[in-house]
A = this chain, B = another copy of it.
């Protein structure tokens, strides 16, 4: 029997290949059917190699979750990085970014849900989840505060935190149902629905956030 030809990749490259193959398998096979052999095949690698990069398959899956959350929070932070926008426009952008590609994605929400299902079981998943949630909460709070100040609304820390919690809930819930694409309504309306609801939650005058919606469309 002749051996398969292969090439040696850098440790980081091979590792991320394995992580992405893991996510791909979990997304369209489910956690139970995402076996070591199938992940390895998707990564273009033989099954035994997994144990050269991870102490066990379970730890590789955990690492894949951490990798996914790192990508998602990095994307959220980048969504307002370079711009010199008004506080209102910046907040609108952070919110609306969740309802367009690549955030609005059936694959992403499938992975997110699958892993959240393990948070209660496995403390490692709980830690990763908590960290990602806290980061997004902080990001939101930092974007909310200047808007409240500019609009002359009360902006004490307790109120900001509560508003961030509520806004994060709104975004999460709409993102999940929107990404699942169940066909119960037109997903293109989600940015408008989300921004109008956010205006209400923050007690801002109408169109404070929604008037920044058109610019989002032009960009695409």
Contact = CB atoms under 8 A, between A and B. Distances in A.
A91 interface: no
Given A116-B113, A117-B110, A177 B168 contact: yes
A42 B16 CA distance: 39
A166 interface: yes
A29 interface: yes
Interface in A13-37: 27-32
A81 to B, nearest CB: 25
A38 interface: no
Contact of A193 (B133, B166, B194): B166
Interface centre among A106, A114, A174, A196 (most CB of B within 10 A): A114
A118 interface: yes
Contact of A114 (B113, B129, B193): B113
Contact of A121 (B28, B126, B165, B168): B28
Contacts of A116: 109-110, 113, 176, 180
Given A169-B170, A193-B162, A120 B107 contact: yes
8 contacts: A30-B118, A30-B122, A107-B120, A109-B120, A113-B117, A115-B117, A172-B173, A173-B176
Interface of A: 27-32, 106-107, 109-111, 113-122, 126, 129-130, 133-134, 137, 161-163, 165-166, 168-177, 180, 182-185, 189, 193-194, 196-197, 199-203
